[in-house]
Amino acid sequence: MQEMDPTIRYVVVTPVRDEEKYIEQTVKSMISQTIVPVEWIIVDDGSKDRTGSIIDGYAREFDWIRAVHRGDRGFRQAGGGVMDAFYEGYGKIRTSE
C-alpha cells in the first residue's frame, strides 16, 4: 500500500445488505486506491448471507476498515432503510478531523 498524503483525509460509510456476491470486489477496489480513507465503515444491514463475515475478515486485516452489524429487519428497505444504516455508521466515526 502506498503512503497516504497527509493533506487528503476522508471517511467512507457504506451500507450493505446481502452483498456476498460483490462485496469482496468492492473492498479490493477500495484497498487498491492510491489514497485510501482514514476510516471506512461498512454497515451490514442485517444480511442473511456471508456479507457480515466477509467484512469482518477485512476489518481484522486492515485497521482503517470497520464493520458495523445491524439486526435483520426481515426485509430490504430502499430509501429510509438505507439511510438508517448510513446514519448508524456515521455515528460510529472515530476520526475527528
Answer yes or no: is 10 within a domain.
no
Residue 97 to residue 92: CA distance in whole angstroms:
14
Q: How confident is the model at residue 37 (pLDDT cuts 50, 70, 90)?
A: very high
- Domain limits at 49? 15-90
The pLDDT score that the predictor gives to residue 79 is 66
Confirm whether 97 is domain-assigned: no
Q: Tens digit of pLDDT for each residue in 43-88? A: 999 999 999 999 999 999 999 999 999 987 766 666 667 888 998 9
What's the CATH code of the domain at 29?
3.90.550.10
What pTM did the predictor assign?
A: 0.85
User: How many residues does the structure list for the chain?
Assistant: 97
pLDDT of residue 72: 77
R_g of the chain, CA atoms, integer Å: 13
Tally of domains in the chain: 1
Residue 63 located in a structural domain = yes
13 forms bridges with which residues in the sheet?
A: 41
Whether 16 has a pLDDT exceeding 80, the answer reads yes
In the block, residue with C-alpha cell 486506491: 33
